Structures are given as structure tokens and as C-alpha cells.
Amino acid sequence: MCGRYGLYRDPRPFARKLRAAVAVDFSFDPHYNLTPQTPVPAIVNEPACELTTLRWGLIANKSTFNARIETLATSPLYGPLLPFSRCIVPADGYYEWRTLADGTKAPVWIYRSDGGPIAFAGLWDAGACTIVTQPPNARLAAVHDRMPVVLDDAAARAWLAPGELDPAAALALLQPVTDDELTYHPVARDVGNVRNDRPDLIAAVAEPQPQPSLFDARTLRDGG
């Protein structure tokens, strides 16, 4: 899944690289902890390909901020949008929580290895959007069992084509990135608080160590 991400660089140059215009009322503030149901920048394909602002989550207060690729064409909610209403959600990286050996979860920041912007494939409708997810590539499988669909520039431009796109052709654009295109590092658990939105949230921290079990703690205390 993709439930938190950051966009701290102005997306307007990236939008222009994808041959998109910029809505006249578009404004941008950097964010390091974007959450569902909040306004986010997005590049829509209709009625003109342009960078605008949408709510992240198609239905308010519902878990529609992610759309699974496996049912994208057949879902009653997402299926009608796939041929006509596609978008790109720009990002600098996203967060995921991986499970440690002791069963606890710790966050990581995932970003492009070359430091460039990320183009999440999405769908949009009525001023709102969702990010498409798929099974992870081999590298990110160690972190989570889902990942957002990340498009290269050519696929992003094709995804943003105006007018109707055959669902099979649209799905063919949603290929997983290669293992070396994205990397990650551990970050502090402060990102878990939605009120935190600071640059240091994406800073690398020491690799978290599993907490000792109750039995291990007792053994260490007793010198066994």
C-alpha cells in the first residue's frame, strides 16, 4: 500500500517535463508527511493535461486512497475511471512500515536511486484521486507486500493521454520498476504521527534493532 508520502520539491518543472500545463490557481507548499484525505498535487489527463490539486482518496473517510492493480479494470469504483480518468501523483518518496524480527514495525523512506521525482500512477474523479498499487519488486518485497506503481517519463506521458484508452493498453503501462530504480533507508518513528511534517522525517537513522523478548530480557538480567 501507499499511505504516506512526501513532496517537498515544486512539482511544476516535473509537470512541464511531462508536457502538462499548470492550473492558474495551483499553489504549492512542501510536505514531508502527506496523508489520505488531504489535498495533494496531481496531473490529470482531462479535459486538459494539467497540474492541479486533488483530495487524496476518492471517497471521503473511506479507504479509497489506494487502488489494487489486480482489480483495477473490474472494480465498480475504479473500472469506469481507467479508460478516461487517469492521473499522475508526483512525489519525492514514500514511507512504508516493515516488520522486524520481533514483530514490531519500523518505517523506511523509499525514493528513487537517482534522486529524481517519482510519478505515481493514479485515477481521479470529482476532485479526488487514488494511487494504484501492485505487488512489490524483489528489492521492496523485503519491506512490504505492496508498492505503488511508479512510471517512467514515457509511460507517464502515455498514461496522461487525453481521451479514451483501452483498459488493456492502460494496464500494460503499469509495469513494476526494476530492483535498482528505488532504494530506501530507515527513518524515525515520528512519521507515524500525522501532525509531524518536517524535513528531518526523511533523514536516515540507525538500523532499528529488534527488542528482546521477555525471556531474553530475564536471561540478560539474571546473567544467564
Give 51-92 pLDDT, tens digit per residue: 999 999 998 778 899 999 999 999 999 999 999 999 999 999
Give the global pTM: 0.91
Neighbours of 160 (CB within 10 A): 24
Could you give the number of structural domains in the chain? Answer: 1
* Amino acid letter, 28: F
Using CA atoms, how far apart are residues 17 and 30, in angstroms rounded to an integer?
20
Averaged pLDDT of the chain: 91
Burial class, 42, CB count within 10 angstroms (exposed 0-12 / middle 13-18 / buried 19+): buried
Residue 64: domain span: 5-93+117-180
Residue 214: inside a domain, yes or no? no
* 109 is a domain residue: no
Question: Of 163, 139, 162, 159, which Cα lies nearest the Cα of 151?
Answer: 159
Reported as a single tens digit per residue, the pLDDT across 105-128 is 999 999 999 999 999 999 999 999
Proportion of the chain above pLDDT 90, given as a percent: 80
Q: CA–CA distance from 19 to each of 40, 54, 164 (Å)?
A: 19, 19, 18
Would 205 be classed as within a structural domain? no
User: Quick check: is 48 in a domain?
Assistant: yes
In terms of residues, how long is the chain? Answer: 224
Alpha-carbon span 189 to 200, nearest angstrom: 11
CATH code of the domain in which 176 resides: 3.90.1680.10
What pLDDT digit, counting tens, does each position of 136-162 carry? 999 999 899 999 999 999 999 999 999
The residue ranking higher by pLDDT, 221 or 96, is 96
Residues 118 and 90: their CA atoms lie apart, in Å, by 6
> Does 104 fall in a domain?
no
pLDDT class of 219 with cuts at 50, 70, 90:
very low
> Does a structural domain hold residue 206?
no
**What is the DSSP-derived secondary structure letter of residue 141?**
G
Place 39 in a pLDDT band, splitting at 50, 70 and 90.
Answer: very high
Q: At 215, give phi and psi (nearest 5°).
A: -65, -45
Residue 99: inside a domain? no
- 106 lies in some domain: no
pLDDT in the model for residue 221: 47
Per-residue cell: 38: 488531504
Q: What pLDDT does residue 26 have?
A: 96
